[in-house]
Amino acid sequence: MAKYYTYEGKQVGYIRKMVDEVVMIEEAWSSEVNKHFAKHGYDELLSLVATILQEKGFPAVTRAQAWMILNDVTGKGVPEALRNYDADEESGKGTLFADLTKKAKVAAAQAADGVASAGKTVGGGVVSIAKAPAKALKKSDSDSDE
């Protein structure tokens, strides 16, 4: 069953959905996320807050403080930059996973390019090392001939 919320975060009924711009959330989605947190804890989510604050030199926060910071930031509704009026009212039109997958692929490609570039240097070094025993062997062969 779906729930509908205004972009300001207020839950509305089906009739109001017909009039206002809304965000549709399947109850199963919320249930699945709650199951994940019950099984794995909240640290994965809360660590984002802790990391942001730590990088800016703020003192360490508790889990409850991090939760309330998230509540304060997200409790004001959906930021304009995140709104997709054509897709938010329906299921299956989201692109978040595709966007994240695309970013991950780009990051992986950039990392591979970095390794490939470094590999040329390392590869050259490996070739030099591989040739070294042959030179040493030739030298020892000539030494044994003497």
Task: Classify burial at 4, counting beta carbons within 10 Å of its beta carbon; exposed 0-12, middle 13-18, buried 19 or more.
Answer: buried
Confidence (pTM): 0.60
* Residue listed under structure tokens 């966007």: 99
What string of pLDDT tens digits covers the 146 residues of the chain? 899 999 999 999 878 777 889 999 999 999 999 999 999 999 999 999 999 999 999 999 999 999 999 999 999 999 999 999 888 988 887 777 665 566 656 666 666 565 555 544 444 444 434 444 443 333 444 454 54
| Angstrom distance (rounded) from CA 42 to CA 63 | 8
The pLDDT of residue 92 is: 81
> Are 117 and 59 members of one domain?
no
| Angstrom distance (rounded) from CA 39 to CA 44 | 12
> Are 42 and 6 members of one domain?
yes
Indicate the number of domains in the chain: 2
Spatial neighbors of 63 by CB under 8 A, at least 6 apart, are 42, 43, 46
> Are 79 and 121 members of one domain?
no
| Domain, as residue range, for 105 | 95-146
